[in-house]
Structure formats: structure tokens, C-alpha cells
Amino acid sequence: MSTVPIQPVQDGGLDPKARGAARLAAVQALYQMDVASTPLDDVIEEFVEHRLGQDIEGNGIVEADAAHFEDVVRGVVREQRELDRQVNGALAKGWSLARIDSTLRAILRCGTYELRRCKDIPVKVVINEYVDVAHAFFEGDEPGVVNAVLDRLGREVRKGAGAGDDAAGRS
């Protein structure tokens, strides 16, 4: 399996659009694993080889950060039980992760994983990025749910740093 390189920007940092594309692809990959029972290694290979940065219906897609994509997908699968426990605790009373749409579940798992494991990415960036991903799939209240849940979890996981508490930084 070959990997797509991370897309650097001129100042030596990572291209924020490449990370955003990786997040969207991670949600899609987890959704595919959930609904089609595609094995982890197969879905990662399929996305890296055939989807990340490819033209879709004649539209060029931003090249994704393959390393971030793979880290998020593998991390969510590896830590799913703990991620689900945390998300369930942050959902509104009477709601559970099992009760919500599988795409929304994937978004919340990915966002929670990044809050826990990607400490170099500010809470505000993680929240905003996954709210944007939610807007790509939903027109209703779901982006607000993503915002509220990830903000609660950001405060819990990062010891009080919610959406408004940390400066903009790497995405």
C-alpha cells in the first residue's frame, strides 16, 4: 500500500485544507466500515489508493493529509469503547450514541479522538472543523449537536479549554 504524502505549505507547516480533507475522508471511511462492515485495513487502503485527492465527478478534490486520515481512522477504531463512553456522557440527557445517525456518530468519534490525542491542534480548530464536516452532511440541528458535544468534551479532555479558550493554531 502506498501512502499519499502530507501536503506542506510554503512556511513548512501543514496545509489546513489537507487536514480538513483528511477529516472528511475519515468520517466517510468510518461510516463505510459501519454500514458495509468493510475491514479497517481495506477501507484505509481504498481511501489512500483511490479516494484521497482524486477527482470525483469531474471535480478536483483537495489533496488530503493521508497520515492524519490514517491516524484518525485507526485511532477511532482502537479507542472506540472509551470514545463512545465519553460521547455518551456529553450527549443531552436521554440521548445515546446508539440512538443517533451513523454519520453523526462517526463525526463525534473523530472529533473526540482528535481532542484526546492531537494536543497540538487547538480545541477551537477541532470543533470548527467537525462542525464544517457536519454541515457537509446535514442541514438540520446536527452541526449544533457536534458543536455542543465537542465543546463539552474539549473542556473535559483538555482541562477547561473549550471552544473560546484557546488561540487559533494548527489545523
Q: What is the pLDDT of residues 19-39, one digit of tens each?
A: 999 999 999 999 999 999 999
Residue 3: inside a domain: no
Q: Which residue has the cell 473523530?
A: 110
Per-residue pLDDT at 64 exceeds 90: no
In this prediction, residue 157 has a pLDDT band, given cuts at 50, 70 and 90, of very high
Which pLDDT value is given to residue 101? 95
Which CATH number covers residue 45?
A: 1.10.940.10
145 vs 55, higher pLDDT: 145
Residue 49: inside a domain: yes
Which pLDDT value is given to residue 11? 42
Residue 169: inside a domain: no
Cβ neighbours of residue 102 closer than 8 Å, sequence gap 6 or more: 31, 34, 35
- The percentage of the chain sitting over the pLDDT mark of 90, rounded to a whole number, equals 68
Residue 11: inside a domain: no
Which residue from 107, 100, 119, 65 is spatially nearest to 83, judged by alpha carbons? 107
Which pLDDT value is given to residue 6? 36
Which pLDDT value is given to residue 171? 53
Task: Count how many domains the chain has.
Answer: 1
Residue 6: inside a domain: no
Does residue 57 come out as left (phi exceeding 0), alpha (psi in the -120 to 50 range) or beta?
A: left
Average pLDDT, the chain: 85
Q: What is the mean pLDDT of residues 119-144?
A: 96
Domain extent, residue 119, equals 16-157
Using CA atoms in the order 129, 131, 135, 137, what is the torsion angle rounded to 10 degrees? 90
In this prediction, residue 160 has a pLDDT band, given cuts at 50, 70 and 90, of low
